[in-house]
Structure 1
Amino acid sequence: MKTLLILALCSVAVICVTSGAATGPQPADDKPADEGLFVEREQASTVVRQKRNAGQLSLTQLESLREVCEANMACEHMMDTNGIIAAYTAYYGPIPY
């Protein structure tokens, strides 16, 4: 009984999908298809987050990096000798913010 119900639902779905395709392609407008792909530089800069330099990290961000690095003894030692940015990058990869 369940198989019959699933088969009926699948056939209804196929009919709905194919009936939309049977109407043919929609008439094209005079506008180019990729009109919305390009934006102005100012608009893009508000959407895309710029990568920050290590010197621009806030104290809170530096403290969170320090807390992560303190859990690893080797990272903590490197943090004391080379700095938090170098230690975090060496052991955990690029800074996430």
Structure 2
Amino acid sequence: MKTLSVLVLLSLAVVCLTSGPFVEKEEASEVVRQKRAAGQLSLAQLESLSEVCEANLACEDMMDTQGIIAAYTAHYGPIPY
């Protein structure tokens, strides 16, 4: 019985290691960023973007007319989270 248990565990380990479930950190970050839409940002994240944007007058004006996401992206690049 012990031998069977060891063989099952070893075969599971081999399957896990050879099936390639692990990805590079950069690739995983890109996938996560792609799945997250602007509407899925939390209130705290939006407030954080707003505070950064308020420090720049042009960004603040754009924020009032086109929204925080568009203003932050135009002046500071992609959203970091």
Q: What's the TM-score once normalised by structure 1's chain length? A: 0.53
Question: Which structure: greater helix fraction?
Answer: 2
Residue equivalent to 2:76: 92
Alignment match of 1:38 (pick from 20, 36, 40): 20
Determine which structure has more spread, i.e. the larger CA radius of gyration: 1
Q: 1:68 to 1:36 in 2, by over 3 A?
A: farther
- 1:36, distance to aligned residue in structure 2 (A): 5.6
Unaligned runs of 5+ in 2: 1-16
- 1:91, distance to aligned residue in structure 2 (A): 0.1
**4+ residue runs over 4 A deviation:** none
Identity of aligned residues (%): 68
Unaligned runs of 5+ in 1: 1-34
How big is the alpha-carbon RMSD for the aligned residues of Structure 1 and Structure 2?
A: 2.1
Q: 1:73 to 1:37 in 2, by over 3 A?
A: farther
